[in-house]
Structure 1
Amino acid sequence: MKRFLYENGGPVIMVQLENEYGSYSTCDETYLKELYNLARSHLGENIIIFTSDGPSNSLLKCGSSDKRYLATVNFGPTTAPVLEVFKVLEDFRQNQPWVNSEYYVGWLDVWGGDHHITNPEWAVDGLNHLISYSMRVNVNMYMFHGGTNFGFWNGGARPESSITSYDYDAPISEAGDITRKYMIIRDLLFRRKGTEPPELPRNTTKISYGRVNMKFVSQCFRFINVSSTQN
């Protein structure tokens, strides 16, 4: 990763360690210190290292106990009032940038659940309110580009498991397509900047492969038992 850091001509300006560690209530200060030291040994002294936790004092205290980290919070348009969220962050660690490291413009899907779709106007209105609130505010949209959890990398939060697709109803879809949500977010940002947006590439042509009929072969657990015995 080091060759992709900003100081080396790359695009990476910040590196997050752990993810919402404060939510797991382990609160291992030694672990967070050693993790920070390890990252610095590999990445050097010029990159910003930060944590990302929910907007409450208890979560921040547990997830970002080492003051060498830039503490950030994550929240969506309806999580809590912006004033309330950044007051929590300011009370926890004063005089640092206010960063929403996960501004939720969509949501993930789980096995057996419905596909989540968020209103584009809802997402862009919240974004506009957020970036208009203060010059100290910095925003990272999550997710800006949908992706795929290949193989068994989907993970989850008990008792639910995420599906393979991580499209997230993001502004740029899992297939790399521009969506209406992308267009109105782009219009907002370029309007605030006072410049005209560049021309966009066309979305890729899609093909319908028709109906695929599946034939039952066996149960997954039966296969696991057989393969485990053979190995």
Structure 2
Amino acid sequence: MTQVCSLPSSAADVNDKYNGKRLPKGIHIVEADDASDSKVGGMSKSEDPPSPWGYIFIQHMSAGCFEKRLDSLKLDGEFKPNCFVHRSLHYKQKANGRGVQKEMKPSISGLVFLQGETNQLKTFLTRYFPQYYLVNDCCTSKPATIPDNLMRPFMKIMSETPERVTFLRDPFEKFAKDHVKLRVLTGVLKGQEGYIVRILRDRQLVMDLGGYAVAISNVHREDFEIAE
């Protein structure tokens, strides 16, 4: 089940330092052959990047209804955003009383992500869902935008193993003070950047998701490089 929690002041154990900041113990950090070149390949300059994502808050009981209504809209070629509802894993008793079964339900956070440029999303919401507004990034005070290349792995993890995701109440900037920013080189999160922090007795990757600090667990087998 996806959690929302605050962090204590303690951080990951360290075995070395970089520019006076802590490097996490137990994480495989690869030294770059050339400090100016990342080992993560980027998109061809000739390709246009997919549209980013914004998000809205909806009471979690209404998120499913919003998704169905959006799905049913027939707009004849007009802009219609892709939608991803943040769901959490729940367990309920089977009808026969023998064991439990898993069930995905819209989470209490009420997060609904929509794909499109900010102006497109604003116009769309004003026309079809005027009761909802795009959430601002607390750092910029402007509607949050999440790059598609970050949103895609996040959606994959949320769909397949949502228990790996923890939304934190602390701002992302808090972790920059004592931690070295790292870039993931392997796995579904390849290319993403964040800080390795000890949360709930586990070293997790804390990332910035549209102004949210989000922690992803089970990353200790991945390779990393220093991103600073």
TM over 0.5: no
User: Could you say which structure has the larger radius of gyration?
Assistant: 1
TM range (shorter): under 0.3
Q: Which structure carries more relative contact order (alpha carbon 8 Å, separation 6+)?
A: 2
Q: So what's the TM-score if we normalise by structure 1?
A: 0.25
From the two aligned structures, give the one with the greater strand fraction.
2
